[in-house]
Amino acid sequence: GKHVEILYSKTKEQLCFLDKVEPHSSVGDIKSLFHKSYPKWYPARQALRLDPKEKALRDDDVLQNLPVGTSATLYFRDLGPQLGWTMGRVFLAEYMGPLLINLLFYVRVPYIYNHKYTISSSHHVVNLACACHSFHYIKRLCETIFVHQFSTGTMPLRAIIRNCAYYWGFAAWLAYCINHLLYTPPSNFLLLFKGAKCQRFPHPSKNPFTWLFYFVSCPNYTYEVGAWVGLSIMTQLALFTLVGFIQMTIWAKGKHKNYTREFKDYPNLRISILLFIL
């Protein structure tokens, strides 16, 4: 068997030494053994690396296939409390919130606006903005339930809180401004509300919406940025689009980097999110 030493990434302190580990054991098996010594760090909370600066090993990586000898040194990082997202429960919470929040402001429930702002009918742009916003998040909910596959079984609690604050907070701000009777819609507006799906190392097909795969790794983010740009032009509220673009660029660049690292034949022409730019 092999000897596995687990060090704490930050201090290089030895946390655990596993003797005579079977060569065919997976990283998931090692996490389970480590969990026995440290019950508070359950497997989903652990990240194990061959080097503190490298990517975390997958649970299905086999010890004998890793570039280690008879002794292996792994570096542990605590990912923090995790919540399971079976059937995308996390994303249902993230996306259901903005949908309901926007509808509450749209119908002008009491105590949100003064009484005098709850009796008049909405401008047609306001109605259209509500329809587009609702369609976008209903589409996301349907994709979460029927389309998406999740590579991991959990998500950090702090990430859930951050994402919900982002989606719910901006939904409330947009909804308050757009549905207020003092809101003045632009005289001309453009609607670019579209959507697309992204799969693991996907290729273009006969579907025109997939043709962006010739140029970008994450066309779903490209389409979504276009959707929010359209809503910004229609409503003249652009802050959410800017913040969303920055966050989606970070996600897209990370996914693009993983694609190029994992697949040797990944197309050199593709970039992360914006055609020929970024």
User: How confident is residue 35, by pLDDT bands cut at 50, 70 and 90?
Assistant: very high
Tell which wins on pLDDT, 266 or 30: 30
200 vs 162 pLDDT, higher one: 162
For the segment 139-165, the average pLDDT, to the nearest whole number, is 78
Within the chain, all domains assigned CATH 3.10.20.90 are found at: 2-80
Per-residue pLDDT at 3: 92
Confidence band (pLDDT; 50, 70, 90) for 120? Answer: low
User: Which residues have CB under 8 Å from 11's CB, separation 6+?
Assistant: none
Q: Is 156 helix (H, G, I), strand (E, B) or coil?
A: strand
Q: How confident is the model at residue 31 (pLDDT cuts 50, 70, 90)?
A: very high
CA–CA separation, 191 vs 146, rounded Å? 26
Q: How far apart are the first and last CA of the chain?
A: 47
pLDDT confidence of 61, banded at 50, 70, 90?
very high
129 neighbors 190 (Cβ within 8 angstroms):
no
Q: Which of these, 156, 40, 141, 126, lies nearest to 92 by C-alpha position?
A: 141
- CA dihedral (142, 213, 272, 136) in degrees, to 10, reads -20
pLDDT of residue 197: 47
- At residue 16, the pLDDT reads 93
CATH number of 2-80: 3.10.20.90
- Across the chain, what does the average pLDDT equal? 80
Percent residues over pLDDT 90 in the chain? 27
Radius of gyration of the chain (CA): 23
Maximum C-alpha span of the chain: 77
Q: What is the pTM of this model?
A: 0.55
Any idea of the CA torsion for 198, 202, 206, 207, to the nearest 10 degrees?
0
Average pLDDT for 48-60? 92
Q: How confident is the model at residue 198 (pLDDT cuts 50, 70, 90)?
A: very low
